[in-house]
Amino acid sequence: MSAAATVMFLVTILLVWGGLVASVVLLRTLPVPGDEAEVPAQSVDPKDSTTNE
């Protein structure tokens, strides 16, 4: 493999993996649109059941 091909190979790999890392970081840090308007779900307390077994 020539030097130019090796350089282009490395640049392409860094570009792809860098985009993947950037996507994951931004997905973890940025809020999801519409989360502010949603009402949080109520949790179910297993001690507060109405059925007797």
In the numeric block, which tokens belong to residue 7?
């350089």
Render each residue's pLDDT in the chain as its tens digit; 53 residues.
899 999 999 999 999 999 999 999 999 998 877 766 656 667 777 676 666 55
The pLDDT value given to residue 4: 96
How many whole angstroms separate alpha carbon 20 and alpha carbon 14?
10
CA–CA distance, 12 with 20 (Å, rounded to integer): 12
Interacting residues of 9 by C-beta distance below 8 A, sequence separation 6+: 1
CA distances from residue 3 to 7, 10, 11, 16, 29 in whole angstroms, order as listed = 6, 11, 12, 20, 38
Check residue 49 and give its pLDDT.
Answer: 62
- The reported pTM is 0.52
